Structure 1
Amino acid sequence: MRIYLTEDYDAMSRRAANLISAEVIRNPSCVLGLATGSTPVGTYKQLAAWNQRGDFSFKEVRSVNLDEYKGLAPTHDQSYRYFMQTNLFDHIDIDVNNTNVPNGLAADPVAECARYDELVRSLGYADLQLLGLGRNGHIGFNEPADIFVKETHVVDLTQSTIDANARFFASADDVPRQALTMGIGCIMAARRVLLIASGADKADAVYNAFCGPIDPHCPASILQLHSDVVLVGDKAALSKLVAAGVPVCE
């Protein structure tokens, strides 16, 4: 595992974008696992700027997103398909037909989860999987639970996740209570995992994920078992790792 300590959110975003762009340059037809939420926005903005400048191309890249809210149409301004279009896909030269997000409107969500698992398998899993980190340690929408769920599945969102996402909706009552999320098995099958974290409110989650026991009540702790994990975080998010003497790179 490699840990990169950056000064602030902008520096974290640039470092993460560097790692993703290097993967695309090395393997132009790579499979990128992508995440949503506020943390990767800066990374996507940087990738779009470099792509528009002609530094590299996404034309052959295929992507698989981690999750989608159950019940939201792709055109809903809080759906994760909409997020990906407006924050990345509409600004780069990727073929939209090569981008994949679970269907939150599927008539049979269980069948949609099975379809998505098969899709990810058929692509050979992600060459690089980008992850954010919830304050409760969730990755994707894999919430704290008694077991690690391997397959893509429908999950009931915890109140802490609903509260954290309420800022994107008119009110907390409008936040969907369920989501379709890639399971731990698909995440762990990625050849490399890139976890990004920013802000003091993520310091406990980062510490618990990498210094605590491997425990499904902190889903990100499973990453301790992955052979190639890169953590990029700003000083605030990594403060407890640094205080514990965990080696970091700058």
Structure 2
Amino acid sequence: MTDTHAQPPAPASDRRVDRLRVESYRTRAEMGAASAAAIATELRERLSRQPQVRMIFAAAPSQAETLRGLRDQKGIDWKRVTTFHMDEYIGLPGEAPQRFARWLDDTLFAHLPFGAVHHIVPEPDPAAAAAAYSEKLAEASIDIVCLGIGVNSHIAFNDPPVADFHDPLDVKIVTLDEACRQQQVDDQCFARYDDVPEQALTLTIPRLLRADRLFCVVPGSAKRDAVRRALYGPVATACPASILRQQAHCTLYLDAESDPDADR
């Protein structure tokens, strides 16, 4: 179990890129421990002054270290925490292990006594599910978002062809691009490219950015180019994660493999 009284790992570098804070760690394990500790600190502070906290989680192998670390944090009244997740495939059987709701149940939700867990359930009508989830999200403000960045620089399933920094919707149906679908195979979530669903429901970029606090966790060499473009390329929907540079309420957590500046 994590000793929550111990100091979290110190970053190898801590910098600002435009308004975005970037913390880089020597290893993936240190990155996970540090991000989990920071999220826990934010939770404790918010629960000390408000009756509940509402959180949105990404579901991906890149988030595993952070979420496992969060499970071990002490001094958090999880019964006052309501959770959502940010995307879900359309067309998978309800029992499919690749469903993001199931992955989050196995990795986080089933391990802690959350006050409420709201799954995205696309069946039987994805459009109706998007509208219903939008309404549930809008019932109160979102305090914390825990997100990642895809190899194509997507945020949630807002791939470059469908990303919209001014999207009028909160949740929408999207068609996944080729790079996004291939990442699911490379992450060993699916055996073959053709097994990856073509469509999904996703929270939109404006919906995610309206949260009070964002923690973005991006480990691994496969993400280095996406991080480089997000930090140093144009702020444009061709690189959806580039919008994070304009978010002073977001911290980006990297390891030595994902940080394009780690070798400097």
Structure with the largest fraction of strand? 2
Query: Which of residues 140, 149, 172 is equivalent to 1:133?
Result: 149
Q: Distance in 1 between matches of 2:182 and 2:240?
A: 19
Q: For residues 74-111 of structure 1, give each alpha carbon's deviation from its aligned partner in whole angstroms, at most 9, with x where no partner exists.
A: 4321111100110001111213xx11232122x32122
Return 5+ residue gaps in structure 1 as ranges.
244-250
Equivalence for 1:100: 118
Residue 44 of structure 2 corresponds to residue 21 of structure 1: no
Aligned to 1:144, the other structure's residue is in SS state coil
Contact map agreement 1:69 1:80 (CA 8 A) in 2: yes
Aligned to 1:168, the other structure's residue is in SS state coil
Equivalence for 2:61: 38
Q: Distance in 2 between matches of 1:146 and 1:36?
A: 20
What amino acid maps onto 1:33 in structure 2?
I
Q: Structure 1-normalised TM-score?
A: 0.88
Aligned to 1:3, the other structure's residue is in SS state strand
Q: How does 1:3-152 map to 2 (within 5 A)?
A: 3-28=22-47, 29-50=52-73, 54-95=74-115, 98-105=116-123, 107-124=124-141, 126-145=142-161, 148=164, 149-151=167-169, 152=171
Query: Which of residues 204, 208, 216 is equivalent to 1:187?
Result: 208
- Structure 1 residue 15: deviation in Å? 1.0
Structure with the largest fraction of helix? 1
Q: Structure 2-normalised TM-score?
A: 0.84
- Structure 1 residue 37: deviation in Å? 0.6
Return 5+ residue gaps in structure 2 as ranges.
1-19
CA RMSD of aligned residues (A): 1.7
- Structure 1 residue 227: deviation in Å? 3.1
Q: For residues 195-243 of structure 1, give each alpha carbon's deviation from its aligned partner in whole angstroms, at most 9, with x where no partner exists.
A: 1111122111112112211111111112222231101110121124774
Q: Distance in 2 between matches of 1:238 and 1:157?
A: 26
- Structure 1 residue 147: deviation in Å? 5.2
Q: How many residues align?
A: 236
Equivalence for 2:196: 175
Which consecutive aligned stretches of 4+ in structure 1 deviate over 3 angstroms post-superposition? 240-243
Aligned to 1:239, the other structure's residue is in SS state coil
